[in-house]
Amino acid sequence: MLIALKLLGSIALLIYGMKVMSEALQKMAGPQLRHLLGAMTTNRFSGVATGALVTVAVQSSAATTVMTVSFVNAALLTLRQAISVIMGANIGTTMSAWIMSAGFSFNITTLVWPAFLVGIILIQLGKHRYAGDFLFGLSFLLFALGMLKQTGTEMDLASNPAVVDFFASFKTNYWTILLFLLIGTVLTALVQSSAALMAITMVLCSTGAITIYQGIALVMGENIGTTVTANLAALNANTQARRTAMAHLLFNVFGVVWVLIAFFPFVRLVCGIVGMDPAADAQNPTQLSFALATFHTCFNLVNTAVLIWFIPQIEKIVCALIRPKKTEEEEEFRLKYIRGGIMKTPELSVFQAQKEIVTFGERMLRMFGMVRELYRAEDDENFQKIFDRIKKYEEISDRMENEIALYLGKVGDAHLSDDTKEKIRSMLRQIGELESVGDSFYNLARILRRRRDKQINFTPDQVEAGVEMIRLVEAAMTQMNAVLAGRREDFKLADSERIEEQINDLRNSLRDRNVADVDNHVYSYEAGTVFMDMVNECEKTGDYVMNVVEARLENTFAK
């Protein structure tokens, strides 16, 4: 029981160490990774190299693939570019297997204690706390590998008749290979960590519990099981993102199929590289672990070398397999860029939220276009139709604010950099003000309906003044959307302030004129009240728009 608990605890510590190490690296290089993926995917070869480098850097193919799916979801990468990045991620992830094989070849725990010491010093200093987090994660990883090696020795499975007889009952044939492949796939999908399953496989092989053939079959299954992470992340994403995740699955399935066709010759070739005979009864544990790492590397290198020439065909296949699940009209009223499944990288999640805020602003501008149509509508049926659409958009604005705020709240629960925290504070203010813009537009629609219900007719001067106020609000909204979608340093707050001042000046001018016109009986007091309600609501909208721009431009984070 104690040995079993040590085994499970070591695996848990291994997963935790990989997670801490990966997250620390992403925090140190989050924005740079974003720019790297966007800038270095100009062709299929640079895409593969980029995917491999990023995965080696963050020590997590799952993080890279989820990041890639997210970029496709945000329209920052094309499907074709993403496929090449994922191929590279599969190559980069083989580094983890080599680290583990090194851990099984010598007493790697001797490196743990100085790493722990340096890590805690860096964390306490504060300035380099992410480097300290990385060293802590690495220390846990190395310690877990040492414990796994020790536990494997203590288990001595090769001397346990029951274990030997159980695994000996599986003959070395294709049915056994398929069974272990399935086991590897299921376990990796459940654990959500191919690194953990690779460590278990090395323990089983090094203790003689399973043969190298069965171990390699488990590794093949791990390659398929690890694609579950990206596919889960893309469940609620857009069509292109789901196609990207499917391409990842197809890539690994294709590799498994061709390896199965040439399984035994290929395994003998791989074992020959590390100088071992796969048919020998007694095996060197170090050679076994290196053989597994070598197979993992060769599998992904050969797979990429073959499929890199067929990226356009892969793109066509996944497009045929995954059709758009909603019409454009239905997509109009759903979040486009952030979904519940994509929460692996906080830096990227914040960027996704900002993209969604851009969409929020665009929707509010469309909503204002409906208000403009409502102002000019003459037919009762058309008026009611437009009013109902405005009401629906107001409900959408409420839902968007809630969903984006909930998403940002989940991101905020992670251990974030100061810059990222500042981004989240800014975006929470932006969405709150945008929701107020939607409320203001709905109020305008209700004012216009009140005018229609009471059959109040504006004078030509009032109509012209209303058109001018609407024009200024539309200009403010357009400028706001440009600020939301663009680079912060490309805009000045004064540009929006100028439009806001024009709105205020017009409101003040119309207020004075309204008092005079009512006194001179140009129109009734009731008509003047409705007219000024509309003008004041437009001015209030201008204030909300200005608040959005201030939240975007006046925060202190660097792009």
Answer whether residue 558 shows pLDDT above 50.
no
Give me the pLDDT at residue 510, please: 94
Nearest to 96 by CA among 245, 196, 207: 196
Please count the other Cβ atoms lying within 10 Å of the Cβ belonging to residue 313: 10
Rounded CA separation 82/44 (Å): 9
Round the average pLDDT of the chain to a whole number and report it.
79
Query: pLDDT tens digits, residue range 236-281?
Result: 666 777 888 888 889 889 988 988 888 888 888 888 888 887 776 5
Side chain identity, residue 292: L
Between 204 and 49, the higher pLDDT residue: 49
**Under a CB-based contact definition with an 8 Å cutoff, are residues 115 and 139 in contact?**
yes
Domains of the chain in start order, with CATH, are 2-321 (no CATH), 331-553 (1.20.58.220)
Residue 156 backbone zone (phi > 0: left; psi -120 to 50: alpha; other: beta) = left
Q: Which amino acid type is present at position 42?
A: T
Q: Are 339 and 73 in contact (CB under 8 A)?
A: yes
Cα 341 from Cα 233, distance rounded (Å): 4
Of 13, 45, 4, residue with least CA distance to 305: 45
| Distance between CA atoms of residues 228 and 186, nearest Å | 10
Residue 52 near residue 92 (C-beta atoms within 8 A): yes
Residue 234 amino acid letter? A
pLDDT score recorded for residue 443:
95
What gap in Å lies between CA 117 and CA 311, rounded to an integer? 47
Tens of pLDDT, residue by residue over 505-518, are 999 999 999 999 99
Instruction: Report the pLDDT value the prediction gives residue 327, as an integer from 0 to 100.
Output: 41
Give percent of the chain with pLDDT exceeding 90.
25
Q: Mapped to the 3 state alphabet, what secondary structure does 83-96 carry?
A: HHHHHHHHHHCHHH
Rounded Cα distance between 257 and 164, Å, is: 29
Q: ∠ at Cα 342 (340, 346), nearest 5°?
A: 115
Burial class (CB in 10 A: 0-12, 13-18, 19+), 2: exposed
Q: How many CB atoms lie within 10 A of CB 3?
A: 13
Confidence check: pLDDT of 433 > 90: yes
Length of the chain: 559
pLDDT at 429 over 90: yes
Cβ neighbours of residue 43 closer than 8 Å, sequence gap 6 or more: 84
Token couple for 347? 């830096």
Where residue 110 falls among pLDDT bands split at 50, 70, 90? low
Start-to-end Cα distance in the chain: 53
**Residue 116 tokens, joined:** 């722990």
Between CA 198 and CA 549 the distance in angstroms is 50
pLDDT at 557 over 50: no
Band the pLDDT of 503: cuts 50, 70, 90. very high
Provide mean pLDDT across the span 457-481.
Answer: 93
Question: Is the predicted pLDDT of residue 342 greater than 50, yes or no?
Answer: no
pLDDT band per the 50, 70, 90 thresholds, residue 542:
very high
